[in-house]
């Protein structure tokens, strides 16, 4: 019999374990924040839900509640970002302040926090984007490998987003 050693990813395990705690969704969102800061990196981390009926996004978590409080809502204008993230379920990566300026009306506030790049990772269920994990950092921070690394974390957020909608 061959011996094998299996090592679980400690960050994914921490997030999965947080799902079992009673203090939801805060426990899960905080675990996602910590794990993604360690695995990928971010200065600003938010979680949004999307409402197909109203065309609005609602902020349900923020690691910087001063400039980005929970409960904030914004109307989403149709365009390349919504087509990618909401319609096709693809991650959006903005690598520069110009990229952010083209997509986000609040790009000046984002830049004031030292953030010039973004990774928006959709959380999907049954072919629909229910929300997204949004990581922002200094210019040039995110790439395709980061989107791939973020995917399992995003999908671990699913139970909390299902209960929010």
Place of tokens 């400039």: 67
Q: Which of 66, 40, 30 is nearest to 121 (CA)?
A: 40
pLDDT tens for each residue of 77-94:
888 899 999 999 999 999
pLDDT of the residue at 79: 86
- The rounded distance, in Å, linking the Cα atoms of 115 and 136 is 6
pLDDT digits (tens, 9 = 90+) for 91-143: 999 999 999 999 999 999 999 999 999 999 999 999 999 999 999 999 999 99
For the entire predicted model, the pTM comes to: 0.94
CATH number of the domain at 33-164, out of 3.30.70.20, 3.40.50.300, 3.30.450.40, 3.40.50.620? 3.30.450.40
Give mean pLDDT, residues 17-32.
97
Distances (CA, A) of 78 to 55, 73, 75, 86, 103: 9, 16, 10, 10, 11
Tell me the C-alpha distance between 57 and 77, whole Å. Answer: 11
Which residue ranges make up each domain of the chain?
33-164
């Amino acid at each position: 019999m061959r011996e094998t050693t299996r090592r679980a990813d400690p960050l994914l395990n921490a997030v999965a374990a947080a799902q079992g705690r009673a203090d939801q969704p805060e426990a899960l969102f905080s675990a996602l924040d910590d794990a993604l800061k360690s695995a990928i990196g971010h200065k600003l981390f938010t979680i949004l839900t999307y409402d197909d009926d109203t065309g609005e996004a609602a902020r349900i978590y923020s690691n910087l509640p001063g400039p980005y409080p929970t409960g904030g809502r914004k109307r989403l204008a149709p365009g390349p970002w919504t087509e990618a993230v909401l319609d096709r379920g693809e991650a959006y990566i903005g690598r520069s302040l110009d990229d952010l300026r083209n997509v986000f009306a609040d790009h000046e506030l984002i830049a004031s926090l030292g953030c010039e790049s973004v990774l928006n990772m959709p959380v999907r269920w049954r072919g629909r984007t229910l929300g997204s994990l949004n990581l922002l950092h200094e210019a040039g921070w995110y790439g395709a490998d980061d989107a791939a690394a973020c995917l399992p974390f995003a999908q671990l957020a699913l139970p909390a987003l299902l209960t929010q909608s």
